[in-house]
Structure 1
Amino acid sequence: MIFIEKPYREGTVVNGRYTIEARLGEGSYGITYVARDEETNQLVVVKQMKRTKTKKRIASFEREALMLRKLNHPQIPKLYDMFDVRGIPHLVMEYIDGDTIETLIFEKKQTYGEKEAFSLLADVLRVVQYIHAHGIVHRDLRIPNIVFRNGIVYVLDFGLARFLYEKNERLFTLEQRLRRSIHVKSDIYALGHFLLFLLYSSYEPTEDKEKSWEDELSLSIEARHVLRRMLQLDLPYASVERLARDVAYVMK
């Protein structure tokens, strides 16, 4: 039997308590919504597992709930509730209403030079260091999952996160191995691309021909060295702690 996904409509009350206000997004395992908790009158995120009940999806939801319970950090969403509706697992999490870097750059016209970009990266690294210290690798540190509210960074969406003791699933391409490997290096690699995105916000091309970032961006030797290691072009960083020390040096 083929299931057709039918997302909740606005105004739907889920589990007798959560009123759906808007759909936030959809991933491979679930659909997320902003909802109002009628008991507390607070906005929350409700994540609904996709209807096709596979062991992999159920395990992913259970793992995400376990991780969010384990990670007690003010810059990581709290898990409030977990329940089933007609056999479909749901998670209820803290709603972090903030700006992504994409919003800050393209809508609010912010730009980041070398010092500003590395300073912002340092803020993100402090949260990621906490995650790694609890034996977890995020594996999805893309721009939509790093948001800023009142100048404070938050790391969201642990749907692809894994415990560092878990075995790698089959990864077919080089990019999959770089981004999805169950190793701290995958988070560092993803943050290398995050850093590049920040640095390109202040780049103004002088010719039509596209070049590599090393040719286009005007960076210090130290910054270039850090980026090459983050992107695994040179010896990769084995820990966020080592990376954080080098980032602090660039910021001097």
Structure 2
Amino acid sequence: MGAVYRAQDLRFKVEKVVAVKEMINQATDPDIQANIVEGFEREANILATISHPAIPTIYDYFTLGARSYLVMEFIEGDNLEIKLQQRRAPFGDEEVIAWGIALCDVMDYLHTHEPEPIIFRDIKPANVMITRRNQIRLVDFGIAKTFQTGSKGTMIGTEGYSPPEQYRGEASPAVDIYALGATLHHLLTNQDPRTEPPFTFDERPIRQANPNVSVALETIVNTALMYNPPDRFENAAIMRKALISLAQQTGMLEDEISVAQATQFFQDQSHSPIWSFTCEDEIRGTATYHEGVVYIGSYDHNMYALAADSGKFIWKYAADGGIVSKPAINDNKVYFGSTDQYIHAVSCRGGKKVWVQPTDGAIYSSPAIAEGHLFIGSDDEHLHVLNLMAGREAWSVNLGSSVRSSPLVVNER
């Protein structure tokens, strides 16, 4: 038994957040106690010898009485089991293919590890973390082991995700391939294999539960789930290649891209920002792009114009309230509303005021432009329609409640 704690490493002057995994040894039998401690030390030593972006870094480990602790990289995010529970529905092809490619990459790394391959033995949604940058992390190496051909031991793993040979105490790379197939099946169907009889995936076809899954992806998962190890993918690299080929066919990836490039793409889908710009308060609205310039409002009361390629500041226009409204562009003018209750028209070139028009409520709506008029809602319960050139109100209509949605004008309606 045990737990995982979020902690701070006080040996550093800066704030360094770490995860501390606690293992409580409650066994009374000396041999069992020794086996539990051995498992803990195995995890610490395995993690100390590996370096991969999808595997948490280990910093330290120690034992205090009956409790042992592993200090490691803190991974902020949720595991795939939690995400499934929150979603209450299967995931789509694109997400599952991306995660599958990234997991195949870390499996290939472990299975080709020197001096001995490492078999994870417990791949399942609960052990796959998704960070806030949408990167995967494989966690809980507590039952991982180095692989020796022909070696056997006790059945260790999770029922439903483990293949037949794992119940016989066998551990080979094929074990992890099967467990990955079971994990992908779970993600694509939202059917928990732990609640089903073992080895019955063929009785629960993926596309029967989720018709949106492609035949090609179903075939890849079914190959990983074959009952006999020789019938599965020969190794994780081949399974990864099959998933990358499918991603290319579906347009997720360019045709001319190497395996390494594709893997890196899916390991870091968020990528690093090209540039950033800091305002004085929150940004709650949406930016508008026009002719190489990004226009974005902020709760610091300013509308900003920034160079789209570099983020360089061009100008800012100060309102008297926060700007949530997504700006609209027409004839080199920027139009938007503000919580100062005004509708603003500003020159694109220098950020100078063209006109302002008052309402009787804060404005969170984004404007729409059609037929020489601007349409925008206000918390004064009215939809306002203004003449673009002069800013004069043409008409308004009382809708009985705050209007914060963005108007849509189609066929004079």
TM-score tier, shorter chain, comes to 0.7 to 0.9
Unaligned runs of 5+ in 2: 191-202, 250-413
Q: Give the conservation status (yes or no) of the 8 Å contact 1:46–1:92.
A: yes
Unaligned runs of 5+ in 1: 1-25, 202-210
Root-mean-square deviation (CA, aligned residues, Å) is 2.8
Answer with 1 or 2: which has the greater Rg. Answer: 2
Q: How does 1:1-252 map to 2 (within 5 A)?
A: 26=1, 30-40=2-12, 41-51=15-25, 52=27, 54-86=33-65, 88-107=67-86, 112-134=91-113, 135-149=117-131, 150-165=133-148, 167-171=151-155, 177-178=165-166, 181-200=170-189, 212-214=204-206, 215-218=208-211, 219-233=213-227, 235-251=231-247, 252=249
Q: Give the conservation status (yes or no) of the 8 Å contact 2:56–2:73.
A: yes
Give the C-alpha shift of residue 113 in structure 1.
2.3
Distance 2:53 2:221 in 1: 28
Normalised by the size of structure 2, how large is the TM-score? 0.47
* SS at 1:56 equivalent: helix
Label 1:86 to 1:183 Cα distance change in 2 as closer, same or farther (>3 A): same
Distance 1:147 1:237 in 2: 24
Distance 1:228 1:109 in 2: 23
Normalised by the size of structure 1, how large is the TM-score? 0.74
Aligned to 1:23: none
Label 1:84 to 1:117 Cα distance change in 2 as closer, same or farther (>3 A): closer
Distance 1:84 1:119 in 2: 38
Distance 1:144 1:34 in 2: 18
Distance 2:165 2:5 in 1: 30
Letter in 2 for 1:104: K
Letter in 2 for 1:147: M
Q: Please say which of residues 40-49 and 154-163 is displaced more in the overlay.
A: 40-49
After TM superposition, what 4+ stretches of structure 1 lie above 4 angstroms from structure 2? 108-111, 172-176
Label 1:59 to 1:107 Cα distance change in 2 as closer, same or farther (>3 A): same
Give the C-alpha shift of residue 220 in structure 1.
3.6
Distance 1:63 1:33 in 2: 20
Label 1:163 to 1:226 Cα distance change in 2 as closer, same or farther (>3 A): same
Asked which structure has the greater RCO (Cα within 8 Å, sep 6+), the reply is: 1
Give the C-alpha shift of residue 125 in structure 1.
1.4
Give the C-alpha shift of residue 236 in structure 1.
1.4
User: How many pairs align?
Assistant: 216
Q: Give the conservation status (yes or no) of the 8 Å contact 1:178–1:189.
A: no
Distance 2:5 2:235 in 1: 34
Give the C-alpha shift of residue 189 in structure 1.
1.2
